[in-house]
Amino acid sequence: MTQNNLHVVFGTGALGKWTARELVRLGKPVRMISHSGKADARIPAGVEVVKGDAYDTKNNIEVTKGAEAVYQCAQPQYHEWTEKFPPMQKAILDAVAVNGAKYISGDNPYMYGDTNGQPIREDMPYQPHTKKGRVRGAMADAVMEAHRAGKVRAAIGRASNFFGPDDNAVTSFAIRPALAGKAINLLGRTDQPHTFSYIADFGKLLATLGTREDTLGQIWFAPSPAPVTQNDLVKIMEEVLGQKVKVMAAGKMMLSMLGLFVPAMRESVEMLYEWDKPFIMDSSKAEKAFGWKGTPLKEAMQATIEWCKSDPGKH
């Protein structure tokens, strides 16, 4: 395979976009697969966008033909993970196996469970105690088992709760409202140290994994800044905005009430353990191997707020 072979990204959300941007920066031809097949203004110039059904193995085989690496950045709705996430991964993984490409998975640390404040490292055992943690753990095991069996050459990249341009999850409820003078929405305790990842760094990690052979067969955490409390993050936001920020923090009761009407809120209840104790992700492995660190939080916040101000499709 030549260095200039195709790189295929499933999903055109925030992670897919930032993975594609880094691949373009590295001079790679990129194809992105989305359900609609439509390219929005934030898709990097020169990137091909193709309509595809990620659950259809035959279709996935077609759209990944000739690929050097395939990046799994797509996911179902948060409340549909149990039913839809494993079959989506299997359909993509099976296609990658047929075409002999590398498989790079965009993942999170849910499967490690509650470490009682101990820093999470890549080689820690999986101890999921939540529904979504069990789903993610089983999916990760399937990827690594396929790699060990020689079916695919794979690597897994993980990030903690991320924010940044193009993100319509954390960014939308915990940063964007501040620009309109409204209260931002935080979760659980706001005085516990927490690792926040920057979405651009997560995309850079996945692109790195897909363009190096020495990363395969391993799990990697996205280089991320030192942990801060949510209160600290608000102070950084206030410094960037030059104004005070109103805060609302939702606990189990409020999330449960909201969950009666919003499925994503209902699914967030079991994840409150991440916010009620220190939640620290140790990304030193990737930092040492790749020679770069996570974007400083103030710089990340500045870029995110600039995007929020300029984004025409405000959520």
- Torsion angle of the four alpha carbons 270, 273, 274, 280, in this order, in degrees rounded to the nearest 10: -150
Please determine, for residue 158, whether its predicted confidence score (pLDDT) is greater than 90.
Answer: yes
Mean of per-residue pLDDT scores for the chain: 93
Q: Are 278 and 192 in contact (CB under 8 A)?
A: yes
Please determine, for residue 312, whether its predicted confidence score (pLDDT) is greater than 80.
Answer: no
**Domain extents in the chain:** 6-164+196-225+280-294
Burial 131-161 (b: 16+ CB within 10 A, else e): ebbbbbbebbebbbebbeeebbbbbbbbbbb
Tokens representing 273 are 């353990």
Please determine, for residue 39, whether its predicted confidence score (pLDDT) is greater than 90.
Answer: no
Residue 262: the pLDDT is: 67
Instruction: Give the residue from 244, 237, 226, 231 showing the smallest Cα distance to 287.
Output: 226
Please determine, for residue 314, whether its predicted confidence score (pLDDT) is greater than 90.
Answer: no
Q: Are 190 and 250 in contact (CB under 8 A)?
A: no
**287 SS3 class:** helix
pLDDT band for position 41 (cuts 50, 70, 90): confident
Chain segment 243-287, per-residue pLDDT in tens: 999 998 876 766 666 655 667 777 788 889 999 999 999 999 999
pLDDT band for position 1 (cuts 50, 70, 90): very low
Q: Are 301 and 237 in contact (CB under 8 A)?
A: yes
Superfamily for 6-164+196-225+280-294? NAD(P)-binding Rossmann-like Domain (3.40.50.720)
Percent of the chain with pLDDT over 70: 93
Please determine, for residue 229, whether its predicted confidence score (pLDDT) is greater than 60.
Answer: yes
pLDDT band for position 224 (cuts 50, 70, 90): very high
pTM: 0.95
Chain segment 89-122, per-residue pLDDT in tens: 999 999 999 999 999 999 999 999 999 999 999 9
Ramachandran angles phi, psi of 6, nearest 5° = -65, 140
Q: Are 268 and 187 in contact (CB under 8 A)?
A: yes
Percent of the chain with pLDDT over 90: 84
